């Protein structure tokens, strides 16, 4: 069975850093592009970042470019999101999602709260 | 970026009745290379992650009940629940994946 398990979310002060992880199992991880999508409390979905199946091509929404870094380790079936210079508006549940065509499988999410 | 606009924001439907959700994109998401619309629909129940329902505007995911159907092309799309069941109470999102992915604002379906 396909599983995506996010971890690493927590309470962090503005300007701080956090690294999220997404452990994948039940499918050929190295053949899928992977994504991070976030959802602020009570709000809708916002795509944040994507990375190609081989890890060579990262993509970002403008509001996080230069602050967040997406990466993956195909030998460990794990996706990462390094989040730096965090702002209050980054507060959200962060989901990892796999993509072949659309986002066909999502993890349960991990909550990031940026507050002093 | 392509802006996705959903309507209505919420709707209340009686059990067994039809629910219709609209989604409009700010530019066409129809690819001339494969003649497919790069449009998906997702269902999100409270406290759960989104679940994919439909892709290519009208192709149901495996296991999704037949009462869910998608239609439309170009810039105008519709998700229809033909006979609403209690378990269909959720927020529904459309998404384009023609360019950098963007989502509609969501439609809350209640009974």
Taken in order B56, B59, B65, B69, the sign of the CA dihedral is positive
Q: What does the pLDDT look like over B3-45, one tens digit per residue? A: 999 999 999 999 999 999 999 999 999 999 999 999 999 999 9
Q: Position of tokens 């799309």? A: B77
Interchain CB distance below 8 Å, B101 and A101: no
pLDDT 10s digits, B54-63: 999 999 999 9
The span from the CA of A2 to the CA of A95, in Å, is 15
Put simply, the answer to whether B100 touches A59 (Cβ < 8 Å) is yes
- Whether B52 sits inside 8 A of A104 (CB atoms) is yes
Nearest CA in chain B to A6: B49
Task: Please write the tens of the pLDDT for every residue from A53-82.
Answer: 999 999 999 999 999 999 999 999 999 999
Tell whether the model's pLDDT for residue A28 goes beyond 90. Answer: yes
């Amino acid at each position: 069975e396909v599983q995506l398990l996010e971890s690493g979310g927590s309470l962090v002060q503005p300007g701080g850093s956090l690294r999220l992880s997404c452990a994948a199992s039940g499918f050929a991880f190295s053949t899928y592009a992977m994504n991070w999508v976030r959802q602020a409390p009570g709000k809708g979905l916002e795509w944040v970042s994507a990375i190609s199946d081989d890890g060579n091509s990262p993509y970002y929404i403008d509001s996080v470019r230069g602050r967040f870094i997406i990466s993956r380790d195909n030998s460990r079936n794990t996706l990462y999101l390094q989040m730096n210079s965090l702002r209050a508006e980054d507060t959200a549940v962060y989901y990892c999602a796999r993509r072949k065509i659309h986002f066909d499988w999502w993890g349960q999410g991990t909550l990031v709260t940026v507050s002093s | 970026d392509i802006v996705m606009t959903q309507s209505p924001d919420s709707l209340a439907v009686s059990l067994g009745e039809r629910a219709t959700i609209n989604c409009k994109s700010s530019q066409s998401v129809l690819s001339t290379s494969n003649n497919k619309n790069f449009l998906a629909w997702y269902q999100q129940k409270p406290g759960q992650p989104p679940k994919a329902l439909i892709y290519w505007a009208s192709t149901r995911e495996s296991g999704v009940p037949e009462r869910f159907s998608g239609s439309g092309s170009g810039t105008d799309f519709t998700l229809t629940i033909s006979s609403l069941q209690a378990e269909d109470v959720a927020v529904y999102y459309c998404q384009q994946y023609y360019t950098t992915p963007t989502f509609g604002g969501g439609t809350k379906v209640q009974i």
